[in-house]
Each structure stands twice: as C-alpha cells, then as structure tokens.
C-alpha cells in the first residue's frame, strides 16, 4: 500500500513539475548568413529573460526549410541548456512581403467592384427579359387604341435600347476589371509567395537557479538557398588586358527574409551560344539504310549540345519561376525566369540536368539537344506525422545541436549594391573551399529571385588567339588564355561577353578542362571570314567492282579583315575507319599537325591584316557499294 501511495506522490510531483514549466517567447534577428553553392547557414542572435527553474524558450518565425540535425545553440549566462527541439507552426504563417499584401488588397477591391458590376448586369438582363415578354401586346385583344399602342411600343423600344446599352457598358467594365485582376494575380505569382505557409518554432529547454537575462546564438542550415558564380568579360582590343567582373547570384526561398545581413559566400546569347564548338572523333561505319544513319547522326548531335534551353511548369501547365537548374556535381547552374524558362551553357558531354524547387520533388532530366519541357510534381508528405530533415524525413523528436552537414539544395537569386558605395570583400582560403566575406550588408528576400552580389573586379593579362572549326561552324571564335588563373579562386559558371563595346552573348568558364592556361571562349569575330568548300574538280565518285571510292578535296580559306594581325588555329579532321571493309587513303593536309588518336588536323596560322590564307584537306574513302557510310 505504501508503495502505491509513493507512486502516486511521484506522479503528482512529475505532473506539478511539468505544469510549472513556463514557455517564454523570444524574438531573434538574423545577423549573418553563410551561403553555400547549395544551402545556407543562418546565424541568429537573441536576448531572453529566463525565469527561475525550468523553462521552454520559444523562438518563432524560423525557416520551415531548416535541416533539423544542423541546429546549433550557444548560450551566455548562468543557465543550462537541457535540450533543443524544432516544431512546425501551421497557425502562424510566414510574414508576407509588403508588396504582396498590397497586391492582395488591390485585388480584393477589384473583386468587390467586379461583384457589383455583375449584380448590375444581372438586374439589366432580367429587365431585358421582361421587356421581351411585353412584346406580345395585341391591340385587338387588349382594347388598346392605336395611339396608346404606338406610345407603349416607343417606350419599350427606347427602354430596351437603354438597357442593352447599359449591359454593353457594364460588360466592358467587367472585362477591364477581370484583366486588372488577372495582372495582379500574375504579379503575385511572379513574386514567388512560398507554397509552404508554415513556419518553425525552435524550442530550447533551459534551467536556471534564479531569474536572469541570457544571450543566445542560433545556427542552422536551410534548404532552398544558394549561389552560383557569374562573370562579365570585357575586351576592348586584343592588344589590351581582359577585364573580368566576378559576381555571385544569390538566391533563397527558405521562408525567411534576410534583411540587411552580412553575407559570406562559400564555394563548398541571347539566342546564340558563345562557346567554341568541339570536334568529336569521326568514326566511319556502315549502316543498313540511310534512315539508320540519320538516326545515329541525330543522337551524336544531341550528345554534343553546348547549351540547354527549356521551360518548367507545374502539373497544370503553369510556369514556375525561380526553379533551380544545375549540372549535376558541378557549380554550373541557373534559375527559371518569370515565364518558367531557362537557358544554360553546358560543359562537354553533359548528359543530364538536376531540377529542384521548394515543395516539389527533385528531378534529373536528360539533355536531348532540343528544348526541354519539365513538369514538376508536388511532394506528398504526411505533415501530421513527419517533419522535414534535410532531404529525408524523420519522426518528430528532440534533437540536440550537431555539426553542420552540407547537402545539395537549390532555388533563387538579383539586385546589385549601389555603385557609389565601394564594396569590400575579404577572401578566406581553406584547403578545400574559398569563402568571400561581403562587408556591406545585403537584403535577400525569400522570393526565389537571383540577386547579384559583386565579389571583385580585375584586369588580367591575356594571350589572345582565334579558333575555328569550319566543318561545324564557319566562324572565328576569339579565345583568351589566362595564366596563373589558379590563384584567382574562380568557379565554373556562365560569363557574359563584351567585345569592342558590343554584347556578344554568353560563354562558359570550364575549369575542369583547363591546364596551366585557362582558355575562355569570347565568341565570334565577324571581321575574320572563314570558308570551307568542296573542290568538285578534285573530288570524285568511283565505282570499281564491288567497291565504291569517294574522294573529297576541301579548300579552307581564312581572311583577316581586322586592322591588326591575328593568330588563328584552324581545326578539321580526317575520318577514322572502325571496320576492315572501310579503307582511308590518299590523305593530304599540308602544313597542319595531326593528332594520331582523334585524327584531328590543326593549322596554326599568323595572318597579317587584310590578307587571306588557304589550306587543302584531302582524303579518299573506299567501302562496299551495297553499304551506306556516313561520309559527312
């Protein structure tokens, strides 16, 4: 019996202890954000009044996209942190941006006016129906005199005309109101209001012997944020250094607005591509039909694409702005515009792209060489039972602070700082990463847009040379060679090209193929004219027995219309036989060097101003005449 009463007393004591645990709401502010290429670490600070005993400090308005295992809490004061937990709050939605609230208020006003106009239209429509029924008046049966009938018909005619005119005016007003409402709704969608309206509460249980004031520092990793590099390359003349502006496009859609925070960035053509085309080995083989050969050629063309374009929509076909599109395992990426469209320069042999967006399942799509159409599918989660943890889920439970674990994430980013304020950036080098501390505070809203942050501007000595592969594209591409580029801490990314004061489009900084010299393709130079023509007098088709011999003789010419001499490397290729029944003979490429592995031939030319040089490329291909061979 005594044991039973002891148990009751113990349970009562535990109940009283729980009942005495106080909850204190603590407001915190974001002071510093470390933005990784995918994901960001947010640092908050707060001061709290802690009561005596055990208390639960509630930190509201925390991002719903935080990685629960990454939460770190530090405290200063005579108290002990007992536990840290995270709870989702569906009753207190994220604070909406002022411009979104204003648009919603405008839409509500227009909706009210639209309802009034619809009511008026309904009244006049009913009156029109009544007047139509009154047209059945008959003078003989009703006893109306002719004059009375004429007056009634005049009244009805005038009133009906007035009613119809009123209906026309009202319908015009309804159309105007509907158009304005549609524009307001489109603008709200463009502002990327987060789909997840919940927030997070951090619950920190502390114990203090007496009421005191304590300071807290909170750190946690959020998804749907990041940055990717972007460059502006300017060349005024090939006799002057290259000017490079190193920028970062910072984006986030984690449910928090970063207002005037210190940023640390960590590395852990319009329609025409400015990327120099790359020749692939030309392997000859036989096909059973011409259709089979064309199919094979189209597959090779798709895998060699240097740019990906496409549109991202939801399952209803609505465009999704702010969707992240990245090359897997690379820092090369972009985000979709307000129409859900994207364009991205690709490194060689890119097979797929990674597409991710808050609230939707991540996708990997194949690069086909044609415009891509991506349909995002919403994530299906049982929000009553699970909480989001990184890229997986786990049951709700108390989680203590732990070391940050970086994982892939994406989403949005741009508005550069005022040009009149000098931008200070300190660079921190670590063995595996490089960080850039931006001295001036930035504001990055949670709207999925890219905001440009300038890292540095520099002038770099460069070696300029031209490359052309007229078999693919009869254009001369200017390349700038940078030595000592490793010390610049560059990252792979797109670059806008400005040559001689004109915008030429975009190119790609591809660091994985760079050696001691980093070559950057600066696009086409129209002042160098390249031609590749088949010389018919020296080319022939010959049938002999069961074989067919085709002889091709190509003339390649390069004319320099610039005011200064240029160095240009002209690239072409000889075919490679992959079958014994195909023979390559009578090759001629005078003045060029041959790569034995790829059979690529290269002429290294120095052409004075206003002069032209010509080269010859010749080969013969013999194969069975009952076969089809990819001769071009």
CB 576 within 8 A of CB 597: no
- pLDDT at position 339 is 82
Enter the tokens of residue 345: 């320069």
The string of pLDDT tens digits covering residues 124-178 is 787 777 777 766 554 445 555 667 767 777 777 777 788 888 888 888 888 888 8
CB 40 within 8 A of CB 407: no
CB 221 within 8 A of CB 69: no
User: Could you identify the residue written with the tokens 């078999």?
Assistant: 471
pLDDT(423) > 60:
no
- pLDDT at position 259 is 92
Distance CA 63, CA 501 (A): 44
Quick one: 8 exposed, middle or buried, by C-beta within 10 A (0-12, 13-18, 19+)?
A: exposed
CB 468 within 8 A of CB 476: yes
Cβ-Cβ contacts under 8 Å for 492 (sequence gap 6 or more): 229, 330, 331, 332, 347, 508, 509, 510, 511, 512
Mean pLDDT score, 11-24: 60
Task: Quote the pTM value.
Answer: 0.56
The string of pLDDT tens digits covering residues 237-295 is 888 899 999 999 999 988 888 999 999 999 883 345 556 667 777 878 888 888 888 77
- pLDDT at position 91 is 54
Q: In what order do the strands lie in the sheet with 341-345?
A: 341-345, 307-313, 372-375
225-229, 419-423, 599-603 — which is least confidently predicted? 419-423
φ/ψ bin of 373: left (φ > 0), alpha (ψ from -120 to 50), beta (otherwise): beta
Distance CA 306, CA 494 (A): 12
The CA dihedral of 486, 601, 570, 482, to the nearest 10 degrees, is 10
pLDDT(550) > 60:
yes
- pLDDT at position 613 is 96
CB 518 within 8 A of CB 242: no
Residue 368's φ and ψ, nearest 5 degrees, are -110, -10
- Looking at the DSSP bridge assignments, the partners of residue 69 are none
Q: Is 267 helix (H, G, I), strand (E, B) or coil?
A: coil
The string of pLDDT tens digits covering residues 190-201 is 664 545 556 788
Q: Pairing mode, if any, of strands 628-629 and 286-287?
A: antiparallel
**C-alpha 69: how far from chain center:** 27
**Higher-scoring residue by pLDDT: 544, 270:** 544
47 — pLDDT class (breaks 50, 70, 90): very high
Enter the tokens of residue 136: 């059945």
pLDDT(366) > 80:
yes
Cβ-Cβ contacts under 8 Å for 201 (sequence gap 6 or more): 58, 59, 60, 62, 86, 87, 88, 89
CATH class held by domain 529-629? mainly beta
Mutual angle of helices 98-133 and 146-190, in 10-degree steps: 160
Distance CA 347, CA 228 (A): 15
Nearest to 73 by CA among 189, 179, 270, 206: 206
Q: What is the dihedral sign for C-alpha 362, 183, 343, 296?
A: positive
Distance CA 344, CA 339 (A): 15
Q: Secondary structure of 46-94 in the HEC alphabet?
A: EEEEECCEEEEEEEEEECCCEEEEEEEEEEECCCEEEEEEEEEECCCCC
- pLDDT at position 98 is 63
Q: Is 320 helix (H, G, I), strand (E, B) or coil?
A: coil
567 — pLDDT class (breaks 50, 70, 90): very high
CB 331 within 8 A of CB 492: yes
Q: Pairing mode, if any, of strands 225-235 and 493-499?
A: parallel
Write down the H helix ranges in 432-498.
none
Residue 562's φ and ψ, nearest 5 degrees, are -85, 170
Nearest to 525 by CA among 562, 496, 572: 562
Write down the H helix ranges in 90-233.
98-133, 139-142, 146-190
Task: Give the start-to-end residue ranges of the domains of the chain.
Answer: 98-190, 529-629
- pLDDT at position 20 is 58
How many helices (H) and strands (E) in the chain? Answer: 5, 40
């Amino acid at each position: 019996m005594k044991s039973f009463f002891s148990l009751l007393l113990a349970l009562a004591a535990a109940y009283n202890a729980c009942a005495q645990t106080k909850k204190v709401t603590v407001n915190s502010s974001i002071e510093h954000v470390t933005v990784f290429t995918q994901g960001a670490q947010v640092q908050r600070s707060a001061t709290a009044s802690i009561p005596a005993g055990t208390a639960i400090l509630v930190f509201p308005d925390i991002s719903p996209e935080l990685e629960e295992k990454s939460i770190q809490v530090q405290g200063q004061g005579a108290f002990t942190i007992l536990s840290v937990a995270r709870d989702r709050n569906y009753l207190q939605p994220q604070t909406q941006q002022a411009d979104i609230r204003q648009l919603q208020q405008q839409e509500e006003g227009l909706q009210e006016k639209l309802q009034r106009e619809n009511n008026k239209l309904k009244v006049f429509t009913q009156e029109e129906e009544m007047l139509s029924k009154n047209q059945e008046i008959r003078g003989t049966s009703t006893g109306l005199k002719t004059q009375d009938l004429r007056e009634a018909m005049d009244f009805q005619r005038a009133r009906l005309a007035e009613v119809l005119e009123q209906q026309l005016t009202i319908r015009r007003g309804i159309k105007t109101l509907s158009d304005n409402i549609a524009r307001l709704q489109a603008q709200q969608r463009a502002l990327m209001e987060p789909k997840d309206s919940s927030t997070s509460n951090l619950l920190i249980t502390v114990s203090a012997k007496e009421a005191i004031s304590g300071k807290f520092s909170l750190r946690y990793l959020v998804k749907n944020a990041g940055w990717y590099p972007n460059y502006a390359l300017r060349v005024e003349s090939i006799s002057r250094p290259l000017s490079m502006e190193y920028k970062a496009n910072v984006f986030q859609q984690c449910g928090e607005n970063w207002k005037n925070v210190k940023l640390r960035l960590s590395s852990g053509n319009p329609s025409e591509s400015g990327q120099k085309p790359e020749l692939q080995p030309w392997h000859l083989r036989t096909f059973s039909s011409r259709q089979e050969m064309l199919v094979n050629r189209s597959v090779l063309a798709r895998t060699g694409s240097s740019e990906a374009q496409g549109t991202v929509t939801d399952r209803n076909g609505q465009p999704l702005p702010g969707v992240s599109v990245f090359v897997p395992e690379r820092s090369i990426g972009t985000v979709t515009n307000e129409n859900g469209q994207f364009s991205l320069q690709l490194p060689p042999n890119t097979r797929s792209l990674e597409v991710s967006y808050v609230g939707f399942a991540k996708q990997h799509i194949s690069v086909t060489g044609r415009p891509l159409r991506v349909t995002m599918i919403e994530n299906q989660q049982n929000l009553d039972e699970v909480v989001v943890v990184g890229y997986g889920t786990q049951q709700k439970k108390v989680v203590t602070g732990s070391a940050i674990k970086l994982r892939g994430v994406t989403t949005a980013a741009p508005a550069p700082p005022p040009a009149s304020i000098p931008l200070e950036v300190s660079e921190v080098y670590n063995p595996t990463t490089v960080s850039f501390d931006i001295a001036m505070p930035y504001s990055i809203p949670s709207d999925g847009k890219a905001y440009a942050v300038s890292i540095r501007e520099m002038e770099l000595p460069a070696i300029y040379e031209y490359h052309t592969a007229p078999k693919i594209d009869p254009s001369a591409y200017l390349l700038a060679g940078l030595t000592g580029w490793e010390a610049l801490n560059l990252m792979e990314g797109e670059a806008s090209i400005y040559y001689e004061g004109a915008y030429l489009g975009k190119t790609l900084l591809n660091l994985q193929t760079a050696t001691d010299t980093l070559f950057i393709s600066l696009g086409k130079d129209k002042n160098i004219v390249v031609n590749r023509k088949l010389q018919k007098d020296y080319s022939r088709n010959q049938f002999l027995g069961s074989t067919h011999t085709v002889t091709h003789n190509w003339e390649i010419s390069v004319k320099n219309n610039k005011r200064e001499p240029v160095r240009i490397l002209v690239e072409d290729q000889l075919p490679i036989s992959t079958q014994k029944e195909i023979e390559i003979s009578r090759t001629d490429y005078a003045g060029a060097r041959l790569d034995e592995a790829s059979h690529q031939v290269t002429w290294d030319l120095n052409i004075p101003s206003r002069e032209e040089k010509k080269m010859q490329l010749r080969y013969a291909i013999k194969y069975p005449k009952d076969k089809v061979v990819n001769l071009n």
